[in-house]
Amino acid sequence: MSPLIRFCVCSLVAFTYPQAWAQDREGPLAELGNQLADYGIQSHVLITNISMKNLDTGPRPHSFGNSGNLYVGADIDLGTLSGLDGAAVHFEQTVFILDKGTGQPTAGEWQGAAGTYFAGAPLHNDITSTQLSLLTYEQKWFDGQLDMHIGRTNGRRYFYIYNCETGVTCNDPILEASSGMLPPPFGAWGGYLKYQVNPSLYVHGGAFESNPVDYLKKRKGLDFSTDDASGTTFLLGIGSKPGDDNTQYELNAYFNSSKQVDPLTGESEHGTAGGFFKFRQTLWRDGLQGLQAFGSLSAAADEKQAFSHFAEAGVTYLAPFDRPQDKLNFKASYVQVNSHQLQFQQRLRTAAGGDPEMGERNVYALEANGHFALTRHLAIEPSIQYLINPDNFYNPGAPQLSNNGFVIGLGLTFDAGGALGL
């Protein structure tokens, strides 16, 4: 399973909601939205869609995949509602719509058609109809300096993982394959604690259930038992976010207690670890326009993992053509495939009578993408990637090595709640 383009805003926006949305409500339900806000209830309804087209690479060139999500939820301020200061409840239900090529196992679907991680990861495999994605209790102390979340959630909501400005291809292969966390919107038991040391420096940590069986058995997030849990993912980090909201640095480490199996030898042991560093830095700003740099470094600790290192660097041009919500991005990505993963793929290819050569260990992607606001509530995110030395992570049994080539994507985000006035 594959952490944009789901009928609607980028993955980052879809998974991280601000404490308060636009207060200048317009739409047929604006009066209801204001009444709910008076009780401390801020609802959201978001539709996202991601479409991917494989032009000329992977085991099955010219393939197409699509995934759409409807997110319905609410943030309830218990201080306003019931006088419980610093407390809140967060809820979200995800409905999977417009899916094509998102099933399991991956080999026969979009991910297997694209083969490589960079091309396949944007489409998550939403194999059921709906999912309880979030149901947490939040408590803040010391004027918000200490913040706790506990309940059914996902660790990727709280750590600086999506720093790419667009959700279409903002993915991290180390976290995807090794951390034990499913991508949002799949939730499990978890707890998170953040301490704001000063206005720009914070430390945080969390523990989250690793339970892919819950997903594979299509329980829709409604089975609260931990009987099938494979382990626990622990994360700990430190970050800096000064007054400029577009600048942030964060260094994190993780430990995944689940059993790890070597794809080549079949040997197994419990536990794996790794770390990741993400940043975004404003380089210059002139009114609405500006230039930012962003990047990522991630590493996994052992050869049982599919990937050993990941690096990414890019630039974002803010407000091209003086449109404040628009952005243009260019980035280069690199991932190193572990030698055991390459030998495993070679063994499967040879057994199928295919190419006996060893695949390339170093995989690259060059990408241009953008975020364009069509209206106040509707945005699109086009993307084009050129893949170099693509691996077959999502289709290791493919008989031939994949050639270099292009993959394009289109993301669509519609803030339906904002359009309705909620």
Q: Give the angle subtended at the CA of 95 by the CAs of 94 and 96, to the nearest 5°.
A: 115
Give 350-376 pLDDT, tens digit per residue: 998 998 999 999 999 999 999 999 999
pLDDT value for 17:
37
Instruction: Name the least confident of 26-30, 124-128, 251-255, 389-393.
Output: 124-128
* SS3 call for 5: coil
Going by pLDDT thresholds of 50, 70 and 90, the confidence category of residue 321 is confident
Q: What are phi and psi of 396, to 5 degrees?
A: -65, -20
The yes-or-no verdict on residue 3 having pLDDT over 50 is: no
- Average pLDDT of the chain is 90
pLDDT value for 170:
86
The yes-or-no verdict on residue 116 having pLDDT over 90 is: yes
β-strands 130-141, 146-153 pairing: antiparallel
Name all domains of the chain by residue range, CATH numbers in brackets. 11-420 (2.40.160.180)
Q: Is 151 exposed, middle or buried (0-12, 13-18, 19+ CB in 10 A)?
A: middle
Whole-number Å distance between alpha carbons of 397 and 52: 22
pLDDT value for 227:
87
Query: Is the peptide bond preceding residue 185 cis, with omega within 30 degrees of 0?
Result: yes
In the block, which residue shows the tokens 């290791």? 396
Percent of the chain with pLDDT over 90: 72
Going by pLDDT thresholds of 50, 70 and 90, the confidence category of residue 405 is very high
Residue 169's Cα: distance from chain center in Å? 9
The yes-or-no verdict on residue 20 having pLDDT over 60 is: no
What stretch of H or E contains 326?
Answer: none
Whole-number Å distance between alpha carbons of 208 and 142: 25
Give 223-269 pLDDT, tens digit per residue: 898 888 899 999 999 999 987 777 899 999 999 999 999 999 999 99
| 61-77 average pLDDT score | 95
Percent of the chain with pLDDT over 70: 94
The yes-or-no verdict on residue 11 having pLDDT over 80 is: no
pTM of the model: 0.89
The yes-or-no verdict on residue 311 having pLDDT over 50 is: yes
pLDDT value for 15:
36
Going by pLDDT thresholds of 50, 70 and 90, the confidence category of residue 74 is very high
| 42-47 average pLDDT score | 95
pLDDT value for 312:
96
Going by pLDDT thresholds of 50, 70 and 90, the confidence category of residue 1 is very low
Give 390-401 pLDDT, tens digit per residue: 999 999 999 999
In the block, which residue shows the tokens 């609260």? 224
| 70-84 average pLDDT score | 95
Give 330-354 pLDDT, tens digit per residue: 999 999 999 999 999 999 999 989 9
Going by pLDDT thresholds of 50, 70 and 90, the confidence category of residue 23 is low
**Who's near 320: CB < 8 A, 6+ residues apart?**
289, 326, 327, 328
Q: What are phi and psi of 334, to 5 degrees?
A: -140, 135
What stretch of H or E contains 372?
Answer: strand 362-373
Q: Are the C-beta atoms of 230 and 211 separated by less than 8 Å?
A: yes
Give 151-192 pLDDT, tens digit per residue: 999 999 999 988 887 777 788 999 999 999 888 788 999 999
pLDDT value for 330:
96
**Who's near 280: CB < 8 A, 6+ residues apart?**
163, 246, 247, 248, 292, 293, 294
